[in-house]
Chains A and B, each alone.
Chain A
Amino acid sequence: MQQQNRDNTTTRILVPTGALGISFAEQAFARGVGAKPDIICVDGGSTDSGPYYLGAGTSKYSRAVTKAEWRQLMIARAEGDVPLVIGTCGTCGADASVDWMLSITREIAEELGQTVKVATLYSSQPVERVQDALRNGRIAPLTPAPDISEDSLGECTNIVALAGAEQINAALDTGADIVLAGRATDTAIVSALALRRGDHAGAAWHGAKIAECGALCSTEPTSGVILLDIDQEGFTVEPMAKDARCTPHSVSAHMLYENADPFILYEPGGYLDVTEARYHALDDRRVRVTGSHWAPSDQYTVKLEGARIGGYQTTIMAVLRDERYVANAREWIEKLHRFVTNEIEKRMALTPSGYDLEFRLIGVDSALGALETKPSNPAEIGVLGVITAPDAETASEIGKLINPYVLHYPLTQDEELPTFAFPYSPAQSERGALYEFCLNHVMILDDPMDAFRLEVIEVGHG
């Protein structure tokens, strides 16, 4: 077992899963806890599922599932008497999501009869702070960055800054049993303790990057649990599921995943360079990595994420099964689009500049659009109408206006009115606000805590 090789300068980190809410193998987790980690770290979010979660400030995963998994981690934390850290609480890491996670933590502590010291690290940015920073030249665009102005920042429903290892360590330094962090880089929660203890910085960040998705760096990606040892020279990674293996290939290939650049990873305070990293199999399940390099930057910057309402959406769906309509679906939606555009202008006094209406052909090219290269010959085609307007009422009105035409519009003038298949009634769905990401920028900070807020409270039975 790996733990026998550990010396007191090694930091042992248990990562139960790539994200709280997607489950992990219980036996593997028990093995991980048995290896006596110094800290348990789990990621609670990402931008992966789109702008809605940040825009609305809400979690993607159900409260029940989140609570069930968090409960297991809280039990393990108490048994091992080690800190438990979650980053990017509630998918988006906005303040409301940290408080959501705090309410879950409080409930569990009371149910288990635990008394727990909790540090909450808040990452939401008051819009005035970001506007000030923009005015003072302390916001820099990444590539590609949307244009921003003080006005456009004011339209954001949520702006968060991504905490790095410094802010996570500030939270750990309070002596908290549990750290509930708002938006943070996936890697920072894993690297922080090792960095604080003076382990190799390149190894800490690289190991964190490898381990942050849980067992995705192993041959059994769904098994979840990963054990990471970071020391003065490198790191060692081992999956906790019995059948899982880490190989030099599975570990080094993980740098490709969701990374635009597989060699360089930017973090608050510098960047990780793995160009010279060496991956070495210690045995058939553990991999040792050395040669990772951390390059500190002159300026301390944190990445910003922001979302705003880009409009309101209504969708409508019809299915074409009639052979002639399937064969001429493209022509049909083009004619239909022209016709309803005209009707909307006539009846609602609304020109096309005031809304967007798109018909997508499911079964033809709805995923790839104009990039599609493969001809298809489907038996049926779904026609998805997507309406986006500045307000929900307009989007809904357009949906109602076009509804009879989506149901009955004929290809030619001289034919009996066709009727297509509506899968449900009403045929239209009100999707509510459409959020859009509107920041891909960094903010310069004098002190890492300048844009973050830390609170400490005790929950449970005192």
Chain B
Amino acid sequence: MASIGETAFNVRSKNAGPFWVTVDIFCGDEAAFATITEQLSSEDVARLFQQPVETIKRFEIPNLHVVKFSLPRPVVQGDRFDRDMHGAQWAVLLAEHDLDASGGYTLGGDAPGKLTRVP
């Protein structure tokens, strides 16, 4: 079983302001994008970050082959219990996550050359 890091071109995370963290999965090509969008559920991400799935925003951007997740930081940046000021190491959790073939998520329709928003 391959991890997301092995399947994708790059996985990165970063604060989006002090109250949010965002993770970008650059899949690299159409095949990896299809694999990751199909096999990585928002529930998987919620589990990895130990956050309620309702708080996780998911975006699929077919023309960039990118899957993006944003969530409120469980600990606000710089709080006494914050361990990662820039939220940049969170990406590792996703990169090391093994893709589970039983994960269920279907990609919505998209138009080539256009960013598509997925609710």
Q: Which residues of A contact B (CB under 8 A)?
A: 47-52, 142-146, 249, 252-253, 256-263, 274-278, 310-311, 313, 356, 358, 360, 366-371, 373-374, 386, 388, 434-437, 440
Contacts and interface: CB of A to CB of B under 8 A. Distances in A.
Contacts of B57: 260-261
A89 to B, nearest CB: 19
Interface in B57-116: 57, 59, 61, 63-64, 66, 68, 70, 72, 76-81, 83-86, 89-90, 92-93, 96-97, 113-115
A252 B78 contact: no
A360 B81 CA distance: 10
Contact of A50 (B19, B59, B61, B78): B78
Contacts of B72: 143-144
A263 B16 contact: no
Given A52-B78, A260-B70, A47 B18 contact: yes
A436 B115 contact: no
Nearest to B61: A262
Contacts of B117: 263, 275
8 contacts: A47-B18, A51-B78, A146-B76, A256-B61, A263-B117, A368-B93, A371-B48, A437-B77
A256 B24 contact: yes
A360 B76 contact: no
A371 B50 contact: yes
A253 to B, nearest CB: 6
A260 B20 contact: yes
Contacts of A51: 18, 77-78
Interface pairs A-B: 4 shortest CB-CB: A260-B70, A51-B78, A50-B78, A260-B16
B14 A258 contact: yes
Contacts of A258: 14-17, 22
B59 to A, nearest CB: 6
Contacts of A313: 80
Interface in B19-73: 19-20, 22, 24, 26, 48-50, 57, 59, 61, 63-64, 66, 68, 70, 72
A79 to B, nearest CB: 36
Given A47-B17, A252-B63, A260-B20, 14 more contacts: A50-B18, A257-B14, A258-B15, A258-B17, A260-B70, A263-B115, A310-B80, A311-B80, A356-B81, A367-B83, A367-B84, A371-B93, A388-B80, A436-B79
Given A252-B63, A386-B80, A440 B115 contact: no
Interface residues of B, number: 42
A278 B78 contact: no
Nearest to B65: A249
Given A51-B77, A366-B83, A367-B84, A252 B115 contact: yes
A384 to B, nearest CB: 10
Interface of B: 14-20, 22, 24, 26, 48-50, 57, 59, 61, 63-64, 66, 68, 70, 72, 76-81, 83-86, 89-90, 92-93, 96-97, 113-115, 117
A253 B115 contact: no
A91 B3 CA distance: 38
Contacts of A252: 63-64, 115
Given A52-B78, A435-B78, A440-B18, A249 B83 contact: no
By secondary structure, the A interface counts as loop
A417 to B, nearest CB: 30
A159 to B, nearest CB: 14
Contacts of B16: 258-260
Given A50-B78, A386-B80, A256 B85 contact: no
A360 to B, nearest CB: 7
Contacts of A260: 16-17, 20, 22, 57, 70
Contact of A371 (B49, B64, B76, B86): B49
B15 A48 contact: yes
A140 B11 CA distance: 34
A311 B70 CA distance: 29
A262 B80 contact: no
Given A256-B24, A274-B115, A373-B93, A262 B76 contact: no
Contacts of B18: 47, 50-51, 437, 440
B91 to A, nearest CB: 11
A259 B22 contact: yes
A49 B85 contact: yes
A386 B81 CA distance: 9
Contacts of A49: 85
Contacts of B92: 368
A371 B24 CA distance: 18
A41 B72 CA distance: 31
A437 B78 contact: yes
Contacts of A440: 17-19
